[in-house]
Amino acid sequence: MEITGAQQVEILRAASTQTSARPASPPWTRGQPIERPAAPAPPPYNLRDHLDHLKDWVHRAYVTTPAGMKDFGFTGDIAFEGFPGCLHPGDVHS
């Protein structure tokens, strides 16, 4: 089934103005993990959540292309000798 341009705009407008069904992620904090009570199952994704997911994929795909890297200021003339690991003590990432 094909849809018209006006229908496409209507769908995108509805998706972009809808409030996400998913709660915002809690802020990340340093130190020990926070003990949280078991949360109820999250609500199903809505149209806004799917649009946000798609926009994230498109953004990530673009910024990894030569044109995207150039747009974000990558010139290719800098190389790092190494990448430092996490600087806080303990192995909380495994």
pLDDT at 2: 93
| pLDDT tens by residue, 2-46 | 999 999 999 999 999 999 887 776 655 666 666 777 777 778 889
Closest C-alpha to 46, from 14, 9, 24: 14
Closest C-alpha to 85, from 94, 76, 77: 94
Domain positions in the chain are 46-74
What pTM value is reported for the model? 0.55
| pLDDT tens by residue, 38-56 | 777 778 889 999 999 999 9
pLDDT band at 80 (very low <50, low <70, confident <90, very high): low
Answer yes or no: are the C-beta atoms of 19 and 48 closer than 8 Å: yes
pLDDT at 27: 59
